[in-house]
């Protein structure tokens, strides 16, 4: 049996979060199962855990949407988790709306003290998830696949969150200035635009380099046979900036971006958006054994490819950082046949990662008896499943 995970969530507290009025639950195992009917709050539970790390969680929801509804309005909400790190030291992370504050504002606390930026969370915790909505990852737009890639990168390089946020902020300011010129005829200060484009170039090249590095390391891990019964994926990064970094020094790529954006101000002003840059990158998936693009694979093969990537990522991060990310696997058994379900369970047992799995049928998880801690969910309630004795 694998050693205990280097990072684990040992307790979760929710108050007026989504469908959960009040919840305090301890977690005592590396694999945690939550079974129950649709509408019981299983996905909400995983979403709360995902919000204890950087980003907007597994649904990408706005803060004002997260509070439990009462009288047609969201209540103030809170989610808090106690974690145990690589040294066995416990620490608490909390997030939610501030007391008396607007429902659209969200704050974070580490050990009771305010956190300056979400990037600071990435230094302490990481989470990766699979949800039924991600079954459309191969048919949806590039933005969804890019956000999936960025979550994987954050777990390896916590500073990546700062680079992406800084790039997006500078780009948003540039877009506003160009839009103002288009609407009101007010010509923005060229030096101001140049300063924003300089920030975009610096942070954008750093983000593209991190994405490129993660894709390369993941491909090496995937080719090493760590996915077991799951078909290995081959990943590709469709990004001119990342491609340029393969042939030129970073500073030269930054210079080229600055020149390109300066020359494209008129075009971008007319379009109302910055039309080129690392924010338009796309993550490509190929079924390696078949040499077939994932978009052309069956639904079951696509789910198997996503599982393979997540398993390889957990292995990679555990080796690189000393702890694997939390794995949040919502309805993961859907579209997996019985042999692949058993292969997934076997892989999770062998990984040095804590995994949270949900499903409507507890019997599907029977192979994990004696290994996993299990709960049964009902609206507003989470009770221990006595069919799965705590290991």
Binding residues for ATP: 36-43
Distance (Å, rounded) from C-alpha 124 to C-alpha 89?
A: 12
End-to-end CA distance of the chain: 12
Query: By C-alpha distance, which of 125, 94, 120 is closest to 108?
Result: 94
Torsion-angle region of 39 (φ positive above 0: left; ψ -120 to 50: alpha; else: beta): left
Distance (Å, rounded) from C-alpha 87 to C-alpha 4?
A: 12
Query: By C-alpha distance, which of 132, 111, 108 is closest to 119?
Result: 108
Provide the annotated binding site.
36-43
- Which residues contact residue 51 at a Cβ distance below 8 angstroms, ignoring those fewer than 6 apart? 57, 66, 79, 95
Buried b (16+ CB within 10 A) or exposed e, 359-375: beebebbeebeebbbbb
H helices of 71-187, where?
A: 119-122, 142-156, 160-184
Let me know: does 137 contact 233? Beta carbons within 8 Å. no
Alpha carbon 307 to its chain's center? 14
């Amino acid at each position: 049996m694998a050693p205990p995970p280097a990072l684990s969530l040992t307790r979760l507290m929710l108050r007026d979060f989504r469908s959960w009025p009040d919840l305090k639950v301890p977690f005592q195992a590396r694999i945690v199962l939550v079974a129950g009917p649709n509408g019981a709050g299983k996905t909400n539970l995983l979403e709360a855990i995902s919000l204890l790390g950087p980003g907007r969680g597994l649904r990408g929801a706005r803060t004002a949407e997260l509070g439990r509804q009462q009288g047609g309005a969201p209540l103030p909400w809170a989610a808090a988790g106690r974690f145990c790190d690589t040294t066995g030291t416990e620490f608490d992370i909390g997030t939610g709306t501030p007391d008396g504050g607007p429902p659209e504002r969200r704050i974070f606390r580490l050990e009771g003290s305010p956190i300056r930026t979400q990037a600071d969370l990435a230094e302490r915790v990481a989470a990766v998830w699979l949800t039924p909505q991600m079954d459309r990852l191969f048919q949806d737009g590039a933005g969804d696949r890019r956000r999936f890639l960025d979550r994987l990168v954050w777990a390896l390089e916590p500073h990546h969150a700062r680079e992406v946020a800084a790039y997006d902020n500078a780009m948003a300011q540039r877009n506003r200035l160009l839009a103002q010129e288009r609407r009101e005829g007010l010509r923005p200060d060229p030096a101001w635009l140049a300063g924003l484009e300089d920030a975009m170039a610096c942070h954008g090249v750093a983000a593209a380099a991190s994405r490129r590095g993660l894709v390369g390391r993941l491909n090496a891990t995937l080719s090493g046979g760590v996915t077991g019964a799951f078909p290995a994926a081959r990943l590709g990064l469709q990004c001119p900036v990342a491609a340029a970094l393969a042939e030129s020094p970073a500073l030269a790529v930054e210079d080229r971006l600055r020149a390109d954006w300066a020359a494209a101000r008129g075009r971008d002003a007319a379009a109302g958006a910055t039309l080129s840059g690392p924010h338009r990158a796309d993550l490509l998936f190929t079924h390696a054994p078949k040499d077939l693009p994932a978009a052309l694979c069956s639904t079951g093969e696509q789910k198997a490819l996503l599982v393979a990537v997540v398993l390889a990522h957990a292995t990679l991060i555990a080796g690189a950082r000393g702890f694997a990310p939390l794995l949040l696997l919502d309805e993961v058994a859907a579209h997996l046949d019985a042999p692949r379900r058993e292969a997934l369970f076997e892989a999770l047992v062998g990984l040095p990662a804590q995994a949270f799995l949900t499903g409507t049928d507890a019997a599907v998880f029977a192979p994990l008896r004696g290994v996993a801690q299990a709960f049964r969910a009902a609206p507003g309630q989470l009770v221990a499943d006595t069919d799965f004795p705590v290991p």
